[in-house]
Amino acid sequence: MEQALGGRAVRGLGRVTGFLLDDLIIPLIGGVLSILVADRLLGGRARVREAWSVLLGRLPRLLSALIPAAILRMLLGQIVPYVVVAVTFVPLMVSMATFRSPPAREGVIWAYQLLYMALTSFVVTVPFVFIPAVVLFEGLSWIPALMRGLALLRADLRRAFLVLAALTGVLGLAEIPFQVVLLLQSFPVATLTALSHAVMLVLMPLPVVGAALLYFDLRHRLDGFDDERLRLTLAGLSS
């Protein structure tokens, strides 16, 4: 009984930690980094503390977009895995029928698991990646911000897909060793989860900065969002 309650507590703590990290902390840090990226693109030398000050001035609007987006992500997280399984089931069965030796089948299963995690993570993450920047630099609320982000992605879908897939793949690869240890060793789940989140926080600036650069590049291509307009927008944020 105590072990069951302890397991539930650990799972509950993991969900809360994942929500705070994935849906609030990382997007807020992403907003800060987008401000710093914009400043560096203009040759500025703003400090992290100054970027946080700018973001905190827009915190209510950001939270009004991030919290509903987090709820939608959680709903997608319940649905998307089943869709991914349905889409990949036939290729998996064909591969298992083609490769009959046990080592080959083990390789197929590992490849399938990696593909499953990558597709699920990508679908649940990428549609929301531009929300902090859109809220900050375009002043949109949550649904218009989500639709605007999707419109930017669709405008150059292949390029956006390749860039974001490569960047989010960094985080996915970082989690693989923890998944392997969890499968092969009797190791506390809470400890592995904490270590995985710590590694994610260390590596997180890479995909977030890449997403910010992609956002500004797409806006430059689509909207003619040049340095002067960026300077005026950044000045408006700082005022």
Tens digit of each residue's pLDDT (9 = 90 or more) over 94-127? 888 888 788 788 888 888 887 887 788 778 888 8
Check if the beta carbon of residue 188 is closer than 8 Å to that of residue 14: no
| Angstrom distance (rounded) from CA 200 to CA 215 | 22
pLDDT attached to residue 2? 43
Average pLDDT, stretch 140-166?
Answer: 84
Q: Which two tokens stand for residue 71?
A: 């709820």
What pLDDT score does 3 carry? 47
- In this structure, of 49-63, 163-177, 186-200, 209-223, the range with the lowest mean pLDDT score is 186-200
State the pLDDT confidence band at 5, using cuts at 50, 70 and 90: very low
Distance CA 112, CA 88 (A): 8
Residues 45-56, mean pLDDT to the nearest whole number: 91
Higher pLDDT, 163 or 54: 54
- Percent of the chain with pLDDT strictly greater than 90: 23
In this structure, which amino acid lies at residue 106?
Answer: E
- Under a CB-based contact definition with an 8 Å cutoff, are residues 213 and 166 in contact? no
Does residue 215 carry a pLDDT above 80? yes
Task: State both tokens at 55.
Answer: 């973001």
Please tell me whether residue 203 adopts helix, strand or coil conformation: helix
Four-residue CA torsion sign, 58, 60, 65, 71: positive
| Residue 224 pLDDT > 90 | no
Task: Enter the pTM of the model.
Answer: 0.77
